[in-house]
A and B are shown apart, each in its own frame.
Chain A
Amino acid sequence: MDYVLQTNALCKKYKEFKALNGLSMHVPRGAIYGFVGKNGAGKTTLIRLICGLQEPESGEYTLYGTKNTDKKILNARRRMGAVVELPSIYLDMTARDNLKQQYQILGLPSYDGLEDLLKLVGLENTGKKKARNFSLGMRQRLGIAVALAGDPDFLVLDEPVNGLDPQGIIEIRELILKLNREQQITFLISSHILDELSKLATHYGFIDQGRLVKELTAKELEGLCRKCVRVEVTNMPALARTMEKLTIEYKIISRSTADLFAKIRVSDLVTALEKEDCEVISMQEHDESLESYYMNLLGGGSRE
């Protein structure tokens, strides 16, 4: 697979606190990679490392195949944009001037595309209004526009919907999906608003205590999270035989428990199992969302 970003056993310490503890992750090209973890799990630290704002103590990462120790990493970084923590914009400047500033930093020969960029993020009518007077959502969109200057094909967003109102959240979501679909921009999005992330992400990485606990695609997660009926029975081989006969997909959880992935008629199932000398002890619908998957994987609570 073609990866935009790969990290290998990255470590970063702040005094005695291990922010990253051998983190390895893989962001495929074209993906919207949801980076999920508790506060203090190491999400922002990883983002700061790959943006070049800090150096890892050990381990390495490659950006477009270029190692972080290679001098060419600076060129590779020119292909990425990022909004780290808060949108990095000059508050005493207009949206247009902020973009002009970034165009100059990038050394772009003209301001071609600037108006399109403003239109893309919905800030084309802000005129002489200073960014200081923008709403949080507008600032976030301007931050993304600044990150998009220079046509990057990898965008890193740290908590992009934090603090936004529902309208702002929808706008950011639609913008991300539009950029991903129309311009094939790869996204790495850190967030702990899981419901929102589940509407976007094509890949997930779950981080805890500086380590990547699980990395999987949205499809794989869907498989793990799909609706099922959890049954507790007295005779597991009998249940298996019955499910094979009825061609119902199932997954054995324990010696007495199994998940059945189908919409079943309870009476039919109980009758079929009775014939195999198997009793049903309990039965309940089981619907695992990203949130419950996360809770099962990492446990609840906050580190803050």
Chain B
Amino acid sequence: MSRLLRANFFRMVKNRMFWIGTVCMALIGTLLPFAHYQMMIKEDYPMYIDNGFFVGAVLIGILLAVFCSLFLGTEYHDGTIRNKIIVGRTRSAIYLANLITCIAAGFFMCAAQFILYLCAGLPLLGPFQMEPKTVLTLTLCVFLLAASLASIFTLVAMCCQNKALTAVICILTAVFFLLFGAYLQTKLNEPEIYSQYQYVNDNGEIETDEAAPNPHYIGGTKRKLYEFLFDFLPGGQALQFSNSDVKNPNLLMLYSGIMVVGTTGAGLAAFRKKI
């Protein structure tokens, strides 16, 4: 497999989408600290490096969707995957080499954002307010999120032989994850009780409404399911990381690991029957 990896990395560094993705992440890492610094100066509002350090988690899904679908789709489109099989490389080795390449691309893009954010953010915004251990844990979480996204897109790209269709499916999947994650977040953020509040009526009198239960509040088993999906699916995870609001990072890492193993197992089984 090392030969396939070497060949894949050779192609990756020549791939335009890989560099576009890396530049996008690098721009976030560079421009966001400057934007936060400007805000801090103009509004006299305290901004920390913590704000937005993990915001790249939201974008990495879209960038990996485009990269994986085009990078792997080319193998079918140009027929080059045949060259690997004809010279005796196994389907499992081909699949795993492609998966590792896509994960590495995701890691590289994330690393570009983190490193440039640190380089620009530390001098402008000062050190982290979070514990170093929390920063490291969340950083690891984002890398694992990138790995789980790469494994999902690898599964799609290796099972669908149409490059254009692969790109459409991957991008729509990435957008769906984010939209569904935002929907879950909105639902889960509904307060259980509307607290007591006062307002001025039409006659100019102050009236007080008592606290009342929120009919949109989701409770019971449905809430548990929503919470699970918010933690398990990459879209929900991305939103949690971008807000640096993660209650149980270890659980999220476990879910990302399960996603990688699950999609890779399914992908390997499906790819053995392909071509």
Q: Which A residues lie at the B interface, using CB under 8 A?
A: 51-54, 73-78, 80-82, 84-93, 97, 100-102, 104-107, 146-147, 150
Among A107, A147, A150, find the residue whose CB has the most chain B CB atoms closer than 10 A: A107
Q: Report yes or no: B82 in contact with A88, Cβ–Cβ below 8 A.
A: yes
CA distance A223 to B81 in the complex (A): 43
Q: Report yes or no: B78 in contact with A88, Cβ–Cβ below 8 A.
A: yes
Looking at the complex, which one of B10, B74, B82 makes contact with A51 (CB distance below 8 Å)? B82
Q: Report yes or no: A105 in contact with B7, Cβ–Cβ below 8 A.
A: yes
Q: Which residues of A contact B6 (CB under 8 A)?
A: 104
Q: Which residues of A contact B4 (CB under 8 A)?
A: 105
Q: Which residues of A contact B14 (CB under 8 A)?
A: 93, 97
B84 at the interface (CB under 8 A from A): yes
CA distance A52 to B275 in the complex (A): 10
**Which secondary structure dominates chain B's binding surface?**
helix
Q: Which residues of A contact B85 (CB under 8 A)?
A: 51-53
A-B contact count (CB 8 A): 77
Q: Report yes or no: B7 in contact with A86, Cβ–Cβ below 8 A.
A: no
26 contacts across the A-B interface (CB closer than 8 A): A51-B82, A52-B85, A53-B85, A53-B86, A73-B88, A74-B88, A78-B87, A80-B86, A82-B82, A84-B86, A88-B81, A89-B80, A92-B16, A93-B11, A104-B3, A104-B7, A104-B10, A105-B4, A105-B7, A105-B84, A105-B87, A105-B89, A106-B87, A107-B2, A147-B83, A150-B87
6 more contacts with CB within 8 A, not counting A97-B14, A105-B4, are A51-B85, A53-B275, A77-B87, A92-B16, A146-B83, A150-B87
Q: Which residues of A contact B84 (CB under 8 A)?
A: 105
B79 at the interface (CB under 8 A from A): yes
CA distance A18 to B90 in the complex (A): 27
Looking at the complex, which one of B3, B7, B16, B86 makes contact with A77 (CB distance below 8 Å)? B86
Q: Report yes or no: B88 in contact with A82, Cβ–Cβ below 8 A.
A: no
Q: Which residues of B contact A105 (CB under 8 A)?
A: 3-4, 7, 83-84, 87, 89
Q: Which residues of B contact A92 (CB under 8 A)?
A: 16, 74
Q: Which B residues lie at the A interface, using CB under 8 A?
A: 2-4, 6-7, 10-11, 14, 16, 74, 78-90, 275
Looking at the complex, which one of A51, A54, A97 makes contact with B86 (CB distance below 8 Å)? A51
Q: Which residues of A contact B82 (CB under 8 A)?
A: 51, 53, 82, 84, 88
Q: Which residues of A contact B10 (CB under 8 A)?
A: 100-101, 104
Among A53, A80, A100, find the residue whose CB has the most chain B CB atoms closer than 10 A: A53
- Chain B, residue nearest A150 (CB): B87
- Chain B, residue nearest A86 (CB): B79
CA distance A101 to B87 in the complex (A): 13
Q: Report yes or no: A77 in contact with B11, Cβ–Cβ below 8 A.
A: no
CB distance from B75 to the nearest CB of A (A): 9
Q: Report yes or no: A75 in contact with B78, Cβ–Cβ below 8 A.
A: no
Looking at the complex, which one of B2, B16, B79, B88 makes contact with A52 (CB distance below 8 Å)? B88
Q: Report yes or no: B3 in contact with A81, Cβ–Cβ below 8 A.
A: no
Looking at the complex, which one of B3, B74, B79, B80 makes contact with A106 (CB distance below 8 Å)? B3
CB distance from B153 to the nearest CB of A (A): 20
